[in-house]
Amino acid sequence: MPPAPPAASVIVPTYREGPNIQPLVERAFRALREAGIEAELIIVDDDSRDETEAVVRRLQETFPLRLVIRRGERGLSGAVLRGFQEARYDRFVVLDADLQHPPELIPALLGHLDDESCDFVIATRYRDRGSLPRDWPLGRRLASRLATGLARPLAPLSDPMSGFFALRRSTWAHADRLDPVGYKIALELYVKGRCRRPAEVPFQFATRAAGESKFSLRQQWLYAKHLARLYRYRFPWAYWPAILAALAAATILVALAVKE
Ligand SMILES: Nc1nc2c(ncn2[C@@H]2O[C@H](COP(=O)(O)OP(=O)(O)O)[C@@H](O)[C@H]2O)c(=O)[nH]1
Ligand SMILES: [Mg+2]
């Protein structure tokens, strides 16, 4: 008999995702059971005060489901890291609760970790048959592409912004100090975990099932801040020259504008 695939902890950060919890949990465990993967699913909720807790309590009768409620703290990245601290198994998968990430792909992501040389797996909207939701306006598509391009020198991933990814416990445990701001925890883990050999699984980014996105202009600003920190971490020798070049460019632009 072939050996059973190693067990996994599935981490789902949530904020006001009450109506999405049941379909997410059912779909995730169906996929895991079909693949023969033993797993727990950990919901890390930032005190949503909606039906999340009641739904989880009911589903716990059927599934190995855990709920961590953080009070007085908000933030997707911090919630994911808290999930890792709570996790029992050595392989982690992270996905959103709103069903934009198809839970059926969880076994495919985990499968890449069977290959010892692969150290990070990301589900991508930008390769092969991956795609964005049809209802995304052009502006949001362009912004997403631009944000992706800016991260390229840090990580050779076609979709470093993706929130659907898998890694080993050891990558997280041996990573340099993690201090993400905003949403892009996968990029933080890839860079600070000194990953080298990523694998990618294309997926079609579905439209959010229920509830509202918490993505905002503030998140874009935090992303810019996060990128600056990562560039400084990864290319310390280039940081000050880049700042000086940006200042020089800004001075020249202002001088030209004043001359007009
Ligand atoms: N725990 C926690 N989860 C969050 C927070 N903000 C967003 N999330 C969850 O992170 C996932 C992605 O957020 P979403 O609003 O869908 O972002 P979008 O897909 O970029 O529009 C969802 O499961 C959210 O419920 C937060 O502050 N705390
Ligand atoms: Mg979403």
The pTM of this model reads: 0.90
Contacts of 148 (CB under 8 A, 6+ apart): 126, 158, 159, 160, 161
Q: Could you tell me how many residues make up the chain?
A: 260
- Residue 97 covered by a domain: yes
Nearest ligand for residue 162 CA: 1
Ligand 1 atom closest to residue 20's alpha carbon, by position in its atom list? 23
Average pLDDT over residues 243-247: 76
- Residue 224 covered by a domain: yes
DSSP single-letter state for residue 169:
H
Q: What spacing in Å lies between the alpha carbon of 79 and ligand 1's midpoint? A: 10
Report which of 93, 101, 143 is spatially closest to residue 125, judged by C-alpha positions: 101
User: How many structural domains comprise the chain?
Assistant: 1
- Residue 249 covered by a domain: no
Q: How many CA atoms lie within 13 A of 206 on its CB side?
A: 15
For 204-230, the pLDDT digits (tens) are 888 888 888 877 778 888 888 898 899
The rounded distance, in Å, linking the Cα atoms of 85 and 130 is 31
What CATH number is given to the structural domain containing 76?
Answer: 3.90.550.10
Average pLDDT over residues 186-210: 93
Percent of the chain whose predicted confidence (pLDDT) is above 90: 63
- pLDDT at residue 85, as a whole number: 98
pLDDT band at residue 258 under the 50/70/90 scheme: low
- Residue 243 covered by a domain: no
For 113-170, the pLDDT digits (tens) are 999 999 999 999 887 777 777 777 887 778 778 888 889 899 999 999 899 999 999 9
The rounded distance, in Å, linking the Cα atoms of 161 and 106 is 18
Nearest ligand for residue 81 CA: 1
For 48-76, the pLDDT digits (tens) are 999 999 999 999 999 999 999 999 989 99
Q: What spacing in Å lies between the alpha carbon of 214 and ligand 1's midpoint? A: 6
- Residue 242 covered by a domain: no
- pLDDT at residue 260, as a whole number: 53
Domain region containing 185: 8-235
- Residue 185 covered by a domain: yes
The total of other beta-carbon atoms located within 10 Å of residue 104's CB is 15
Ligand 1 atom closest to residue 15's alpha carbon, by position in its atom list? 25
Q: Which residue has the higher pLDDT, 244 or 32?
A: 32
Report which of 25, 51, 202, 46 is spatially closest to residue 112, judged by C-alpha positions: 202
The token pair that represents 172 in the structure block: 């997280």
pLDDT band at residue 259 under the 50/70/90 scheme: low
pLDDT band at residue 91 under the 50/70/90 scheme: very high
Cα–Cα distances in angstroms (integers) from residue 236 to residues 36, 187, 230, 243, 249, in the given order: 45, 18, 9, 12, 21
pLDDT band at residue 181 under the 50/70/90 scheme: confident
Do β-strands 120-124 and 165-168 pair in parallel, antiparallel, or remain unpaired? antiparallel
Q: What spacing in Å lies between the alpha carbon of 46 and ligand 1's midpoint? A: 10
The rounded distance, in Å, linking the Cα atoms of 155 and 159 is 9
The total of other beta-carbon atoms located within 10 Å of residue 194's CB is 12
Contacts of 192 (CB under 8 A, 6+ apart): 175, 176, 177, 178, 233
Residue closest by Cα to atom 22 of ligand 1? 96
Percent of the chain whose predicted confidence (pLDDT) is above 70: 97
- Residue 2 covered by a domain: no
Q: What spacing in Å lies between the alpha carbon of 60 and ligand 1's midpoint? A: 22
Q: What is the mean pLDDT of the chain?
A: 90
- Residue 132 covered by a domain: yes
DSSP single-letter state for residue 61:
T
Most ligand 1 atoms within 8 A of CB, residue of 42, 52, 76, 136 to mutate: 76
